[in-house]
Amino acid sequence: MLDSRDFLRRLFDAALAAAAPARCVPLHLPDPATIRGRIVVVGAGKAAAAMAAAVEAAWAAQLDRVAGLVVTRYGHGVSTRKIEVVEAAHPVPDEAGQDAARRILAAVQGLTADDLVLALMSGGGSALLALPAPGITLAEKQARTRELLKNGASIHEINAARKAMSAIKGGKLAAAAMPARVLTLAISDVPGDDPATIASGPTVPAPDEPAYARCETRVIATAQDALQAAAAVARQAGVTPLILGDRIEGEAREVAKALAGVALSCKSHGLPVRPPCVLLSGGETTVTVRGSGRGGRNAEFLLALTIALKGTPGIYAIACDTDGIDGSEDNAGARIGPDTLSRAAAQNVDARAKLVENDAYGFFAALDDLVVTGPTRTNVNDFRAIYLSP
């Protein structure tokens, strides 16, 4: 019989492996010997440092031709030889991100048609490339970002605001690189995988702009890739996977209620799939903060889910952010089982009160049910798995 905790963690690990830069970056790199001019590597995002390291490993024989700069979140850096890695704040931008964006913009200027700009973009890049447009201050960008995050804005709404306030996003970096060729490798953290939305598309100009002709974007890892990798592990274990979707959005607690309904239907009626099965989903939920507690959207999803399931036997779940950081905390997410509510009650921890206070972190910390991975250095957003035992 499967150990539910081990099984769910294996699913999450498979999802992470599918989006690892060391696996997906080399598959999409051109041969540097075919590039006549300079090779300038720039990038931004939670996966940017690991992507830069993957480029260096793949191009080791011609690394002397490579130079550049990428910016990643504090704590997500790795050692590199030729491509400089700097760290900055996320999700609220800071001066380090502003300086990095200014340097990246300068690095792509003055190039020729023989040169290549290799742009490494991933989730988080929008906050990390913090170069305000003329007439806008960094403080104004910070205040607007905090407001959007607190009010539960979607990633599309947040990135639209960031583009409007930026001197580098929305294709402006590509325009600055003209007439050089620009190849963007993107790891997608946005529902729908629109390249213009990933990191707010600094190298993705509108189709009618002159810079578009020499720009190519390849989305090299997605939430769907991660879900399919987890599904393969489930099949090997004799568990039927059902991928509910890779772009599920909405308030975390409302998504939890909906998925609880699906899980209970499977348990009671064998529909839409009969146990043993696992319901897999990705995307990005949001949290409208009303309380004073701690916790990211995945922990809040699980707290609402365990309340909705009411201790139904045989249902277990894990929900984690694939970057290893759920919101602003030190955990990737958490896990639940049919005994979660009873164990909490035994410790006088009130699940409903914790949900009202947006204190999912405190709830799962008290039960030792947080999932802590540290920075994974990739990011295809939320990963959720609900396992129904036989």
Q: What is the pLDDT of residues 317-335, one digit of tens each?
A: 999 999 999 988 999 999 9
User: Hey, what CATH topology would domain 4-16+224-388 get?
Assistant: glycerate kinase, domain 1 (3.40.1480)
What residues in the chain have per-residue pLDDT under 70? 211
Give how far Cα 327 sits from Cα of 90, 162, 286, 297, Å.
10, 19, 10, 7
Q: What would the CATH number be for the domain defined by 21-221?
A: 3.40.50.10180
- Which residues in the chain are classed under CATH 3.40.1480.10? 4-16+224-388
Q: Enumerate the H helices of 2-131 as residue ranges.
A: 4-18, 21-24, 48-58, 95-107, 125-128
- CB count within 10 Å of CB 162 equals 22
Amino acid at 113: A
pTM: 0.93
Q: Is 255 exposed, middle or buried (0-12, 13-18, 19+ CB in 10 A)?
A: buried
Q: Considering only CA atoms, give the Rg of the chain.
A: 21
Contact at 8 Å (CB) between 375 and 20?
Answer: no
- Which residues in the chain are classed under CATH 3.40.50.10180? 21-221
Contact at 8 Å (CB) between 339 and 291?
Answer: no
Spatial separation of the C-alpha atoms in residues 372 and 19, rounded to whole Å:
18
Spatial separation of the C-alpha atoms in residues 171 and 193, rounded to whole Å:
16
Res 211: pLDDT:
66
Least Cα distance to 386 among 307, 254, 281 occurs for 281
Spatial separation of the C-alpha atoms in residues 315 and 338, rounded to whole Å:
6
Please name the helix (run of DSSP H) or strand (run of DSSP E) that holds residue 120, with its range, or none: strand 116-122
